[in-house]
Structure 1
Amino acid sequence: MSAISAEVDAGAAAARSAAARPRRFGALFVFEHRFTTARRTWTSNVVPALGLPVLYLFAMGLGLGSLIGGGSGAQDLGGVSYLVFVAPALLTAAAFQTASEEFIFPIRLGFKWNPTFFGMNSAPLSPGQIIDGNVLYTSARITANSLIYYLLMLAFGAAPSGWGILSVFAALLTALSFGGPLCAYICSLEKDASQETLVLRFIVMPLTLFSGTYFPLSLMPIYLQWIGWMSPLWHGTQLARDATYGLGEPAWLIAVHLVYLLATFVVGWQIARRLSRKKLNK
Structure 2
Amino acid sequence: MSTSIGPRPPRDPALDAAVAGAVRPRRYGAWYVAEHQLRAMRSYGWTIVMSGIGTPLMYLLGIGLGLATFLDVPVGFGPDGPVPYVVFVAPALLVSATVTVATEEFTYTVMSGFKWRRVFWGMNASPVAPGQIATGLVLAAGARMVFVATAYAGLILAFDAVGRPAAALVLPLLGVLAGLAFGMPLLAFSASLKDDGGQFAAVQRFVFTPMFLFSGTFYPLDTLPVWLHWIGWVSPLWHATELGRLVSYGAPMSTTTALTHLAVLVALAAGGWVLARRIFVGRLRG
TM-score by length of 2: 0.93
Give the letter aligned to residue 181 of structure 2. Answer: S
Equivalent residue number for residue 54 of structure 2: 51
Q: What's the CA shift string for 1:79-129, capped at 9, x where partnerless?
A: 111111111111101111111111111111101111100000000111110
Q: Which has the larger radius of gyration?
A: 2
Equivalent residue number for residue 208 of structure 1: 212
Equivalent residue number for residue 168 of structure 1: 172
**% identical equivalent positions:** 40
Give the letter aligned to residue 223 of structure 1. Answer: W
The structural deviation recorded for 1:253 is 1.0
The structural deviation recorded for 1:148 is 0.8
Comparing 45-54 and 110-119, the one that deviates more: 45-54
Aligned length: 273
Which aligned pairs between 1:89-168 and structure 2 lie closer than 5 A? 89-161=92-164, 162-168=166-172
Q: Give the whole-Å Cα distance in 2 for the aligned partners of 1:29 and 1:83.
A: 41
Give the letter aligned to residue 68 of structure 1. Answer: L
The structural deviation recorded for 1:62 is 2.1
The structure with the greater share of residues assigned to helix is 1
**Which of 254, 259, 268 is equivalent to 1:255?**
259
Q: Give the whole-Å Cα distance in 1 for the aligned partners of 2:137 and 2:195.
A: 22
Which aligned pairs between 1:72-91 and structure 2 lie closer than 5 A? 73-74=73-74, 76-78=75-77, 79-91=82-94
| Unmatched tracts of structure 2, length 5 or more | 1-8
The structural deviation recorded for 1:201 is 0.7
* SS of corresponding position for 2:216: coil
Over 3 Å off, 4+ runs = none
**Which of 174, 179, 183 is equivalent to 2:183?**
179
Q: Give the whole-Å Cα distance in 2 for the aligned partners of 1:130 and 1:113.
A: 17
Q: Give the whole-Å Cα distance in 2 for the aligned partners of 1:125 and 1:196.
A: 28
| Corresponding position: 1:64 with 2:63 | no
> Retained in 2: the 8 A contact 1:165–1:243?
no
How large is the RMSD of aligned CA atoms in angstroms? 1.2
**Which of 16, 27, 44 is equivalent to 2:30?**
27
Equivalent residue number for residue 264 of structure 1: 268
> Retained in 2: the 8 A contact 1:100–1:179?
yes
Give the letter aligned to residue 77 of structure 1. Answer: G
TM-score by length of 1: 0.94
Which aligned pairs between 1:180-259 and structure 2 lie closer than 5 A? 180-259=184-263
The structural deviation recorded for 1:196 is 0.8
